[in-house]
């Protein structure tokens, strides 16, 4: 009988689907629903800070040491994917791990630029005193930057979902279900 193993702990799963929902809400409400937009942005930032701390003290496959690899491992793994024979990993594979780090960094930058913009343009939020009196061209640049970062995050999310689908097909396992249940089957890794 194949052995079932718990890979993703509850914090990782709640973080994942919570972040996915909060990012979607923030992205879709950018113009018309500022209070909902900022609430969703705060949630993304709080979730990412929690996840980063968990990356140091969390369960085995949640830790950065379990899945953050150097550029040569990541590139080697991408080559294996393209050749159709990537090694299976129970946690994140090296390319998935690089994507996790990139997503975390972009989500922090997007939220912080949003907080700064909120402080400068709306005189609200924790950065309002720091940003009060910022010249208009700064605020315009910040607005452009915030939008660019949000769009880059969306681009990475699309690549991320594409990667998840590809890996699910190549290893004949349902990775999306595993991110809900936390469980994978021990096999050829």
The residues of the shown chain that bind ligand HEM, judged by CB under 6 A, are 12, 15-16, 19-20, 23, 51, 62, 92, 96, 100, 103-104, 107, 157, 160-161, 164, 175-176, 179
DSSP element (H, E) containing 184:
strand 183-185
Calpha distance 147→151 (Å, rounded): 6
Nearer Cβ to ligand HEM (108/134):
108
CB of 136 to ligand HEM, least distance (A): 31
Calpha distance 67→64 (Å, rounded): 5
CB of 187 to ligand HEM, least distance (A): 14
Nearest of 163, 61, 145 to residue 106 by alpha carbon:
145
- Classified as helix, coil or strand, 97 is helix
- Determine how many CB atoms are found less than 10 A away from the CB of residue 63: 15
Nearer Cβ to ligand HEM (41/119):
41
CB of 147 to ligand HEM, least distance (A): 16
Nearer Cβ to ligand HEM (106/131):
106
């Amino acid at each position: 009988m194949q052995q079932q193993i718990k890979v993703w702990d509850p914090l990782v799963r709640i973080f994942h689907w919570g972040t996915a929902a909060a990012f979607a809400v923030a992205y879709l409400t950018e113009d018309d629903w500022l209070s909902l937009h900022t609430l969703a942005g705060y949630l993304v930032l709080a979730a990412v800070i929690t996840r980063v701390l968990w990356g140091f003290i969390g369960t085995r496959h949640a830790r950065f040491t379990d899945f953050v690899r150097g550029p040569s491992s990541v590139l080697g793994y991408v080559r294996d994917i393209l050749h159709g024979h990537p090694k299976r990993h129970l946690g994140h594979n090296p390319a998935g791990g690089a994507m996790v780090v990139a997503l975390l960094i972009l989500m922090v930058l997007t939220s912080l630029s949003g907080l700064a913009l909120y402080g400068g343009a709306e005189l609200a939020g924790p950065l309002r005193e720091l940003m009060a009196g910022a010249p208009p061209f700064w605020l315009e640049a910040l607005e452009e930057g915030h939008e660019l970062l949000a769009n880059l995050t969306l681009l990475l999310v699309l690549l991320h979902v594409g990667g998840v689908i590809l890996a699910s097909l190549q290893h004949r396992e349902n990775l999306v279900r595993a991110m809900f249940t936390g469980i994978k089957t021990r096999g050829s890794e």
